[in-house]
Amino acid sequence: MTLTILGASGGVGTELTRQALDRGEEVVAICRRPDRIALPDSPRLTRVAADVLDTEAIAKALDGRDTVLSALGTGDGEKPGVLAAGARAIVAAAPARVVSVGAFGTGRSAKAAGWLTRTLAGVFLRAELDDKVGADETILAAGGTVLHVGPMSDGPVSATWRSVSLDGVPRRIFPAGVSKATVAAAMLDAADTGPHGRILVPLAR
């Protein structure tokens, strides 16, 4: 299948693109500056320049796409609104399958995360919290899947990773970290096999 990746030049987006190509998929990689996607050219990779805040450009880029994975994030100095705009654009394009990345300890995962993680998320994500939760709810309401992730790091895909539902999250004082590569692997599997229309939490083990 052809996978369309939003935010393809970021850490998770680059891993999504790399791993999808390694799996033999066709990839449409969308971001504001496609030249910043740090991967070699491939006959199965199409780079598309589009900004989610440009309604016409992003609608054209997403038109007819069957499977969309969103690795959108809020960059330094950006005002909140990017995530919600991206979610609205995805839903408007009506793809069959959507998988997006969110933050563990926010929105529906707040209770499962525990009070300390909720507090930390509220402090460190304060400026973008409403944007994140709003984007998640837009995706979920349309039947998409959102992966809520803890602190992310560089590094390879965990050999023991798994995705769990919110009621299966292990109780911890501090949120479990996970590599961006592991998050990307979990997103690709969720797009391929489901389950759909729910929140999943990828864990390194």
pLDDT at 73: 87
Taking each helix axis as running N to C, give the angle between helix 180-193 and helix 11-22, from 0 to 180 degrees, rounded to the nearest 10.
50
Portion of the chain with pLDDT greater than 90, in percent: 78
* pLDDT(192) > 80: yes
Residue 142 tokens, joined = 């349309």
Measured distance CA(130)–CA(128) in Å, rounded: 6
Token reading at 183: 């998050």
- pLDDT given at position 43: 97
Q: What is the pLDDT of residues 49-85, one digit of tens each?
A: 999 999 999 999 999 999 999 999 887 667 779 999 9
Query: What is the reported pLDDT for 20?
Result: 98
Summarised one tens digit per residue, pLDDT across range 99-152 is 999 999 899 998 888 877 777 777 766 768 889 999 999 999 999 999 999 999
Query: The whole model's pTM is what?
Result: 0.93
pLDDT of residue 174: 81
Q: Are the beta carbons of 17 and 5 closer than 8 angstroms?
A: yes
Closest CA to 101 of 79, 77, 73: 73
